[in-house]
Amino acid sequence: MAGVMSGLIDRLLHRRMLRRWGQAADAASAADLETLRSLRSRARSLRRNLDRVIHEAEHRLALPVIGSNVIRKPLGTDWAWRPELWKGPIPVPGFSSVPGKAEIHPGATIFHDCRRSELTVRQIRNTREADIAPFGFRMDVFRFDGSFLSLVVDLPPEAAQGLRLKHLVRLDVIVEMEKPLEIFARLNIKHGPNVEQIVRELPLNEEEVMVEFDLAYSKMNEKRVERLWVDLIFEGPEMNQIILRDVTFSRRPRAEL
């Protein structure tokens, strides 16, 4: 009840203030100079705070909404997903001197074999108009004496439910780099005691960076699929900054011929 009354009082005060300043604006052309000078001073003081509110509101409202699950889906998609690392804030947003195996967030793990780690990672807030994902993931790589660097993303159980050889699994990525490098995506499908692997290179020179894994060319046992995960493998990452602005997955049945 107190909250309702407080809201009602706020609205009444707001209407009264609007009416008062409206009257002051109407009377400004006929006001004497002393009154006009006083009105200007009060109006400027009020405008400074109004401008601060408007600036902050426009900045925050222009950002992708935290928790947004808006995903570009091909026609016929029966499952789509954005990992939490790109969807919502994580408890620890950054790590330096990342060890050889480091869980950044449940379901997202960094692997490398450097003797001395000079790798820093951080979740960042996306701010560009083109961004759909609320967050991005940045890796700053300095000296790199290892043979591999990868980010492993575990797909949720829903990705494995009803998975068939007729399915295409699609990975869409928005990526920025300081220097060109190669990125490979490896889809891993655990079925029984076996793991089926399909590797694709991301077409970084194309406008739409995406790859599709056609399960028809795999030896997956449809009846024994347990889980899926994807390795993003970065070739020659030394002295580079890599930003994954968005990572999404989807699947759809292949069109019947």
Q: Are residues 57 and 87 in the same domain?
A: no
Backbone angles phi, psi at 256, to 5 degrees: -75, 135
For the chain, how many structural domains are there in total? 2
CB atoms < 10 A from the CB of 103, how many? 11
Give CA–CA dist 110/146, Å, rounded: 13
Q: Are residues 52 and 83 in the same domain?
A: no
Query: Tell me: the pLDDT tens digits for 50-69?
Result: 777 775 665 566 566 666 66
Q: Are residues 47 and 116 in the same domain?
A: no
Tokens of 199: 């590797």
Q: Are residues 84 and 46 in the same domain?
A: no
CA torsion angle 118 121 126 131 (round to 10): 90
Q: What is the mean pLDDT of residues 152-180?
A: 95
Query: Tell me: the pLDDT tens digits for 182-231?
Result: 999 999 999 999 999 999 999 998 878 999 999 999 999 999 999 999 99
Q: How remote is the C-alpha of 131 from its chain's centroid?
A: 8
Q: Which of 51, 74, 32 is nearest to 169 (CA)?
A: 74
Tell me, what's the pLDDT at 62?
54
Which domain range does residue 26 map to? 2-62
Query: Tell me: the pLDDT tens digits for 22-45?
Result: 888 888 888 888 888 888 888 888
Q: Are residues 100 and 27 in the same domain?
A: no
Strand positions, DSSP E, the chain = 79-81, 94-95, 101-105, 108-112, 119-125, 135-141, 149-154, 167-177, 182-191, 194-201, 210-214, 225-235, 240-253
Order of strands, edge to edge, in the sheet holding 101-105? 101-105, 108-112, 149-154, 225-235, 182-191, 194-201
* Predicted model pTM: 0.76
Question: What's the CATH code of the domain at 229?
Answer: 2.60.120.260
Give CA–CA dist 143/240, Å, rounded: 9
Q: Are residues 30 and 97 in the same domain?
A: no
DSSP state of 255: P
Q: Are residues 117 and 212 in the same domain?
A: yes
Is residue 115 in some structural domain? yes
Domain C-terminal end among 10, 35, 62: 62
Do residues 74 and 252 make contact, with C-beta atoms less than 8 angstroms apart? yes
Is residue 72 in some structural domain? no
Q: Are residues 25 and 121 in the same domain?
A: no
Q: Which of 156, 139, 121 is nearest to 229 (CA)?
A: 156
